[in-house]
C-alpha cells in the first residue's frame, strides 16, 4: 500500500516536470516554426513549477533531498545528535504550522474575492491551494521523521549528501570506480 502511494507521488512529480518542459519546448517550436503564440502557456508553466516544488518538498524529505550542514552536529555523540534532531523536527513543525496558518489566511481572502487567474479560467484560490496541501504533506513527513528519530532509526532531518548523490549517478554510468 505504502509502495503504491510512493509510486503515485513520484509519478505526479515526474509528470509535472516533464509537462512543464514539454510545454515550453512546444511553445518555443510553435513560435519559431509557425509564428503562433499560446497565451496561457507562461502562466500554466509557472504554476506547474510551483506545484512541483510544493508537492515535491515533502517527497524531498522522504528521500533526503534537502541539503543541510552536518559537520557540527556530527561532532556530538549519537544520543545528543538524536536530541538535537528531535528539537529540529519540532522547530520544522512550527515552520509548517505557521505556514499552513498563513496559507489558510491568504486562501481565505482570495476565495472571498473569487477572481480567476490572468490567462486561464481557473479560480485563483484553487490554483494556489497547493500552498496548504504542500505544507500539510511536509508536516506529515516531519512527524514520520520524528517517530523514526524517537525509535533511534534516524538522527538528522537532512540525511542527504548531494555529493554522494551525483557520484552514485556517475558510478552507474561509468560502471564503478576503485
Partner 1 sequence: EPITVKFSHVVAENTPKGLMANKFRDLVAADPALKDKVVVEVFPNSQLFDDDKVMDAMLLGDVQIAAPSLSKFQKYNPQLLIYDLPFLFKDIAAVDRFQQSEDGQTLLTSMKDKGYIGLGYLHNGMKQLSANKPLKTPEDAKGLKFRIQTSDVLAAQFEAVGGVPVKKPFSEVFTLMQTKAIDGSENPWSNIYSKKFHEVQSDITESDHGVLDYMVITSSEFWDGLDEDVRTALKKDMDEAVTYGNEMSVKKADEDKQAIIDSKRSTVYTLTAEERQKWVDAMKPVWDKFKDTIGADLIDKALKANEG
Partner 2 sequence: MTIAFLFILLFALIFFGMPIAISLGLASITTILLFSHDSLGSIALKFFESQSGHYTLLAIPFFILSSAFLSTGGVARRLIDFAIAAIGHVRGGLAMASVLACMLFAAVSGSSPATVAAIGAIVITGMVRAGYPMAFGAGVITTAGTLGILIPPSIVMLVYSAATEVSAAKMFEAGFIPGIMMGLLLMVAIYIVARVKKLPAQPFPGFRTLLVTGGRALGGMMLIFIVLGAIYGGVASPTEAAAVAAVYAFLIAVYGYRDIGPLKGKPWVSEGESTSAAIMRNLLYFPRAMVMSVGDQEVRKVIMDAAKVSIMLLFIIGNAMLFAHVLTTERIPHHIAETIVGWGLPAWGFLIIVNLLLLAAGNFMEPSAILLIMAPILFPIAVKLGIDPIHLGIIMTVNMEIGMLTPPVGLNLFVTAGITGKSMGWVIKASLPWTLLLLGFLLLITYVPQISLWLPEYLNELRGFAPGS
SS3 118: coil
Distance between CA atoms of 118 and 123, rounded to whole angstroms?
Answer: 10
Which three-class secondary structure string do you get for 148-178?
A: HHHCCCCCCCCCCCHHHHHHHHHHHHHCCCC
Select from partner 1, partner 2, none the partner in contact with residue 5, using the beta carbon and a kind-dependent cut-off of 5 to 8 Å. none
**Of the residues 4, 30, 121, 167, which one makes contact with partner 2 according to CB under 8 A:** 167
Residue 148 · residue 154 · CB < 8 Å: yes
Looking at the Cβ atoms of 6 and 31, the one nearer to partner 1 is: 31
User: Counting beta carbons within 10 angstroms of the beta carbon of residue 87, is it exposed (0 to 12), middle (13 to 18) or buried (19 or more)?
Assistant: exposed
**Of the residues 30, 38, 57, 122, which one makes contact with partner 2 according to CB under 8 A:** 57
- Contact status: 126 vs partner 1 (CB under 8 A): no
Select from partner 2, partner 1, none the partner in contact with residue 69, using the beta carbon and a kind-dependent cut-off of 5 to 8 Å. partner 2
List the interface residues with partner 1, window 35-64 (CB under 8 A): 35-37, 39, 42-43
- Stretch of residues binding partner 1 (CB under 8 A), selected from 15-23, 70-78, 110-118, 160-168: 110-118
- Contact status: 110 vs partner 1 (CB under 8 A): yes
Residue 81 · residue 155 · CB < 8 Å: yes
- Stretch of residues binding partner 1 (CB under 8 A), selected from 33-41, 68-76, 92-100, 163-171: 33-41
DSSP-H helix ranges across 35-64: 41-62
Distance between CA atoms of 8 and 4, rounded to whole angstroms?
Answer: 6
Task: Return residues touching partner 1 (CB under 8 A).
Answer: 31-32, 35-37, 39, 42-43, 105-106, 109-110, 112-113, 115-116, 118-119
Amino acid at each position: 500500500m505504502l509502495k503504491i502511494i510512493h509510486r503515485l507521488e513520484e509519478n505526479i512529480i515526474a509528470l509535472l516536470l516533464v509537462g512543464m518542459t514539454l510545454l515550453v519546448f512546444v511553445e518555443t517550436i510553435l513560435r519559431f516554426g509557425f509564428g503562433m503564440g499560446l497565451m496561457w502557456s507562461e502562466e500554466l508553466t509557472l504554476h506547474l513549477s510551483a506545484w512541483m516544488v510544493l508537492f515535491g518538498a515533502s517527497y524531498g524529505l522522504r528521500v533526503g533531498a534537502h541539503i543541510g550542514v552536518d559537520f557540527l552536529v556530527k561532532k556530538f555523540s549519537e544520543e545528543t545528535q538524536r536530541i538535537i534532531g528531535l528539537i529540529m523536527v519540532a522547530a520544522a513543525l512550527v515552520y509548517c504550522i505557521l505556514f499552513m496558518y498563513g496559507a489558510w489566511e491568504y486562501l481565505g481572502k482570495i476565495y472571498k474575492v473569487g477572481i480567476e487567474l490572468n490567462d486561464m479560467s481557473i479560480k485563483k484560490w484553487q490554483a494556489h491551494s497547493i500552498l496548504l496541501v504542500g505544507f500539510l504533506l511536509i508536516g506529515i513527513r516531519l512527524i514520520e521523521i520524528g517517530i523514526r528519530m524517537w525509535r533511534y532509526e534516524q538522527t538528522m532531518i537532512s540525511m542527504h549528501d548531494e555529493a554522494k548523490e551525483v557520484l552514485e549517478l556517475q558510478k552507474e554510468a561509468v560502471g564503478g570506480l576503485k
